[in-house]
Amino acid sequence: MAIGAAVKQGQFEDAALVLGDRLKVGSLYRLLADEGHRLFPDSYFADLFVATPRGRPTIPARTVATVMLLQSFEGLSDREACDRLAFDLRWQAAAGLTTGAESFHPTVLVGMRNRLRASERPKRLHEDTLVPAREAGVLKGRARVLDSTALYDAVATQDTVTQLRAAIRKVLATVAPALAAEIRSALRRDDDYATIGKPPCDWDDAAARDALVDALVRDAHAALAVLDGQVLEGAAAEAAALLALVAGQDVAAGEDGTFGIVRGVAKDRTISTVDPEARHGHKSSNRRFDGYKTHVSVDPDSELIAAATATPGNTPDRDAIDELLAEPGADPAEAKPEVVGDSAYADGATLDALGEQGYEVVAKVPPARNGTGGFTKDRFSIDLEASTVTCPAAQTVPITFGRRGGRASFAAHCATCPLRSDCTASAAGRSITIHPHEAALQRAKTAQRSEEWKDQYRTDRPIVERKIAHFTRRPWGGRRARVRGLERIKTDVATRAGVLNWARLAVLGLHSTEAGWAIG
């Protein structure tokens, strides 16, 4: 079998010809119908099958790529997408098919995504949207606006009891039968660990709940004791590591030696054995979620997504910056764009790191706060060149530097200061802590007081909010993950970023000419 070839000779039954002017100019479907043969030639996925010369699909690359993109655009399951190709004339036109063309089995999409993830260019469905955008002069290098949004996981968050039992069951299901039998002989609970869910228990009885937790933890430890020293591979090794993690993250032994659930949430807590990479996340103190984060970098002039990725939900936004600013195909000789973002990208370490790489950062440093109600740090004048700090009462003191920044103490002046009641209630007087990256923070605060800075921030910052609204407009794949596991989710994020770019380029009037790509 060979990779299928698209039919390029127009036929009377072509879906695009049947639709005619009803396939609106400026729509995503019209762009794919007119330019799909150039965007996705027959060799588009050829590199995915180099190692497997047999068993290649006979479906044209254009058809598969179009269905993957439109599936993400409309927020459909694999089966729904294949059904749509069979009955929707717009889909058939976009894929370059005739009205009588048949669809394919949904597993083709699963297999193609798996191959994409294993390829050298797993994000091609997004990255390739930037090529014609650059050629047409649409994608500018002036600035990149960064932000993130919640991506809810595709599984239910599990409590400690459910996780312990599920982890033991997974180990028993993945290890060799002889080793599984040895583990079962070491378990003490009257449970075959063959079914899913919570075990029977009088959940209104605190003593019964405590006894169940203790028994599950002891069974987990017994299983791990048997596994100690065993050479495990693949799924069995992953299951054993997950059991060790779950058995230690939420429980601890009391003074009487009984294991119980500890109060609070463990740092980097695994929230599900079904999707071990999902995490508790929060966008603010009042807005919490379970799952992942989608991070995007947007070109504010064209409103195209320049980069996109996903991380576990508890990952700080700043940790995705390197991936968001890496643009394959960009000219390295070009000046680096300005980086625009909210306060999540305005900590001292991030400002210094980006500055060293040549980026100018337009991110709002949050104002200093004082929990006692006195003067904030921003009321003090910090002169790093002179290594001094001047207080609101015009008293200047030196900065004493240490390994982790510095400190300026006004204790000698506070006793007789007329502003003391407005500054501090401490008997030791007021002191100011100097951050290790204080210079970067002070530069950013000075810059953001200018009207030019404010105008740029107000102009560029809302663009990324609008693009995130576009991204999450279709809940399945946009706001809620369709799949489990970070790498699979990254594939979906790249596909959605790609199709949103094609939709934007269609609005801008992207088309091919003899000289290349053009707009208008």
Sort 30 into a burial class: Cβ within 10 Å, 0-12 / 13-18 / 19+. Answer: buried
How many independent structural domains does the chain possess?
Answer: 4
Q: pTM for this one?
A: 0.88
Do residues 389 and 466 both lie within one domain?
no
Do residues 349 and 456 both lie within one domain?
yes
User: Mind listing the pLDDT tens digit for each residue in 353-363?
Assistant: 999 999 999 99
pLDDT at 2: 39
pLDDT at 330: 72
H-helix or E-strand spanning residue 279? strand 279-282
DSSP secondary structure letters along 156-175 = ----HHHHHHHHHHHHHHHS
Amino acid at 67: V
Domain stops at, among 261, 284, 302: 261
pLDDT at 262: 82
Residue 12 has pLDDT above 50, yes or no: no
Residue 108 has pLDDT above 80, yes or no: yes
Residue 454 has pLDDT above 80, yes or no: yes
pLDDT at 155: 86
User: Which residues, 6+ apart, have CB-to-CB distance to 198 below 8 Å?
Assistant: 161, 162, 165
Token output for 175: 């290890």
Kindly state the average pLDDT of the residues 434-461: 94
Do residues 170 and 64 both lie within one domain?
no
Please indicate, yes or no, if residue 296 is contained in any of the structural domains.
Answer: yes
Do residues 42 and 7 both lie within one domain?
yes
Map residue 305 onto helix, strand or coil.
Answer: strand
Please indicate, yes or no, if residue 518 is contained in any of the structural domains.
Answer: no
User: Mind listing the pLDDT tens digit for each residue in 156-200?
Assistant: 888 889 999 999 999 999 999 999 999 999 999 999 998 888 888
pLDDT at 52: 67
Please, are residues 37 and 6 in contact by the beta-carbon 8 Å criterion?
Answer: yes
Q: How confident is the model at residue 282 (pLDDT cuts 50, 70, 90)?
A: confident
d(CA 98, CA 105): 18
Do residues 195 and 332 both lie within one domain?
no
DSSP tag of 189: S
User: Which residues, 6+ apart, have CB-to-CB distance to 429 below 8 Å?
Assistant: 409, 410, 411, 412, 413, 414, 415
Do residues 329 and 386 both lie within one domain?
no
Kindly state the average pLDDT of the residues 321-338: 84
Q: Which residues of 140-175 are buried (b: 16+ CB within 10 A; e: fewer)?
A: bbebbbbbbbbbbbbbeebebbbbbbbbbbbbbebb
Please indicate, yes or no, if residue 355 is contained in any of the structural domains.
Answer: yes
Question: In this structure, is the dihedral angle defined by the CA atoms of residues 490, 491, 497 and 500, taken in order, positive or negative?
Answer: negative
Please indicate, yes or no, if residue 370 is contained in any of the structural domains.
Answer: no
Residue 444 has pLDDT above 60, yes or no: yes
Do residues 389 and 301 both lie within one domain?
no
Do residues 396 and 494 both lie within one domain?
no
Please, are residues 281 and 290 in contact by the beta-carbon 8 Å criterion?
Answer: yes
User: Which residues, 6+ apart, have CB-to-CB distance to 446 below 8 Å?
Assistant: none
User: Mind listing the pLDDT tens digit for each residue in 234-264?
Assistant: 999 999 999 999 998 888 888 888 888 887 6
State percent of the chain over pLDDT 90: 74
Residue 20 has pLDDT above 80, yes or no: yes
Q: Which domain holds residue 305?
A: 125-150+292-365+448-509
Token output for 400: 């004493």
CATH number of the domain encompassing residue 464: 3.30.420.10
Phi–psi pair at 517, nearest 5 degrees: -85, 145
Please indicate, yes or no, if residue 141 is contained in any of the structural domains.
Answer: yes
Please, are residues 14 and 98 in contact by the beta-carbon 8 Å criterion?
Answer: yes
Strands 338-341 and 361-363: parallel
Residue 457 has pLDDT above 90, yes or no: yes
pLDDT at 249: 87
Kindly state the average pLDDT of the residues 205-230: 93
User: Mind listing the pLDDT tens digit for each residue in 385-433?
Assistant: 999 999 999 999 999 998 888 999 999 999 999 999 999 989 999 999 9
- CA-nearest of 437, 423, 344 to 146 is 344
